[in-house]
């Protein structure tokens, strides 16, 4: 039996558990960087939980992906919604030990539904050309790769 995935708002208090979820170095193969410390995540989550940029041009939706009745955190999804109406950029990360079970696809579908309920359907994501798993996740939302490359990542888009 497959466990159900849910989304809930990110909280600063999630930093300790998420530091464990995000601790596998292989998660950073395509994006660069290193696993964040609890303190780094707490600082980041303090900013992200504000819900938007300080200049008011973007809304930030940051959600923890949880699994099963215990609501075990297994990753996150996020959306950056420009207030000017441009495309909304989405991103996702599922911890290494939970990969390969379709949880990322479930999570981005939930995020997409949440955004669609608000009238947001023009989505973009930037994916490394060798990150096949993320390409499959984007394709499940009917996103397609474009010719645009930003910092070595291909822009995927759904209008």
- DSSP readout, 74-124? EEEEEEEEETTS-PEEEEEEE-GGGTTSSHHHHHHHHHHHHHHHTT---EE
How far apart, in Å, are the Cα atoms of 50 and each of 56, 62, 117, 134?
11, 10, 22, 27
Give the Cα separation of 97 and 22 in Å (integer).
10
Question: So what CATH class is 5-158?
Answer: alpha beta
**Residue 16 main-chain phi, psi, to 5 deg:** -65, -50
As a whole number of angstroms, the distance between CA 42 and CA 21 comes to: 14
Reference 91, options 101, 103, 106, 76; nearest CA is 76
Query: 3-state DSSP call for residue 134?
Result: helix
| C-alpha torsion sign, points 144, 145, 147, 153 | positive
In the prediction, which pLDDT does 1 show? 56
pTM, rounded to two decimals: 0.95
Q: Consecutive 10-residue runs of the chain (159 residues): their mean pLDDT?
A: 87 98 96 95 97 96 95 97 97 97 97 97 97 97 97 96
Angle formed by the axes of helices 103-117 and 132-140, to 10°? 40
Residues 6 or more apart in contact with residue 54 via CB below 8 angstroms: none
Q: In the prediction, which pLDDT does 2 show? A: 67
Q: What is the pLDDT of residue 29?
A: 93
Domain ranges of the chain: 5-158
Cα 122 from chain centroid?
16
């Amino acid at each position: 039996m497959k466990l159900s995935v849910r989304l809930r708002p990110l909280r600063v208090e999630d930093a300790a558990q998420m530091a464990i979820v995000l601790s596998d170095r292989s998660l950073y193969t395509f994006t660069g960087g290193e696993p964040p410390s609890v303190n780094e995540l707490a600082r980041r989550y303090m900013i992200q939980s504000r819900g938007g940029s300080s200049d008011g041009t973007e809304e930030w939706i940051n959600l923890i992906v949880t699994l099963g009745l215990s609501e075990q955190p297994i990753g996150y999804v996020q959306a950056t919604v420009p207030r000017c109406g441009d495309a909304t950029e989405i991103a996702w990360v599922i911890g290494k030990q939970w990969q390969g079970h379709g949880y990322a696809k479930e999570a981005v579908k939930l995020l997409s539904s949440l955004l669609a309920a608000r009238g947001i359907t023009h989505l973009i994501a930037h994916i490394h050309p060798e990150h096949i798993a993320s390409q499959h996740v984007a394709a499940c939302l009917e996103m397609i790769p474009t010719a645009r490359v930003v910092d070595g990542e291909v822009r995927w888009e759904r209008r």
